Homo-oligomer: A and B are copies of this chain.
Amino acid sequence: MKIKVVEPVLKANRVMAEEIRRYLGSKGVKLINILGSPGAGKTQFIKRTLEQLENKEIIGVIEGDISTTFDAEELVSLGVEIVQINTKGACHLDARMIKQALEQMRLDGKKVIFVENVGNLVCPAEFPLGEDLRILVLSLTEGLHKPLKYPLAFRTSQVLILNKSDLLPHLDVNPSIIREEALSINNQMRIFQLSSLTGEGFSNWMDYFQNYLSTL
């Protein structure tokens, strides 16, 4: 039943996502879609990444939330351009919402737009937004087996952030098992273990991201 109802929606979304990718490509801008469970630390991950960038003006942020603007408020002091989407109940962002958000954003001088998706490890994985890169933020506090229990998000993401590593000494969680499980689903995945709160392990991610930026 679910598949029958949703398939035309997914197809229409894929078509619009491709339009967005082509449009942004013509402007020299890449979209990075960031997904993860509620409380995985997506906003803090974006915040620390922006703090460590010298040329912040090349970045824009689209914040997706069902309601509230807490996450956008976290980032506003950084001086980057932010567009808030409130989905009013919807469990994921879709390409149509991104198209509307992009109409409100200055693209001149931008190289990358971060999209923080709704906190949800399931539905956002089904809806490409025209992104060049998909990053999955997983909190180590979420425990084992998430790659096997929620495979689509892992299969479709190129980067996995194992966040909140500062809490590892207090958890009964072996990150090696999560890495193995993630690679069993997607053996191309780049994995970074870090704490967006303390900054530990963050330099490996920033090296990767600076290298990504240098290729644009």
Contact = CB atoms under 8 A, between A and B. Distances in A.
Interface string A1-25: 1100110010000000000000000
Interface in A123-148: 123, 139, 141-146, 148
A171 B122 CA distance: 26
A208 to B, nearest CB: 25
Contacts of A141: 39, 139, 141, 164, 167
Nearest to A172: B197
Interface of A: 1-2, 5-6, 9, 37-39, 41, 65-68, 70, 89-91, 96, 118-123, 139, 141-146, 148-152, 164, 166-167, 170-172, 197
Contacts of A121: 37-38, 119-120
Contacts of A66: 122, 149-151
Given A5-B6, A38-B142, A39-B142, 9 more contacts: A38-B121, A66-B150, A91-B123, A119-B122, A119-B149, A141-B167, A167-B167, A170-B170, A172-B197
A16 to B, nearest CB: 11
A90 B9 contact: no
B68 A143 contact: no
B2 A90 contact: yes
A89 B148 contact: no
Contact of A146 (B38, B90, B139, B197): B38
Contacts of A167: 141, 167, 170-171
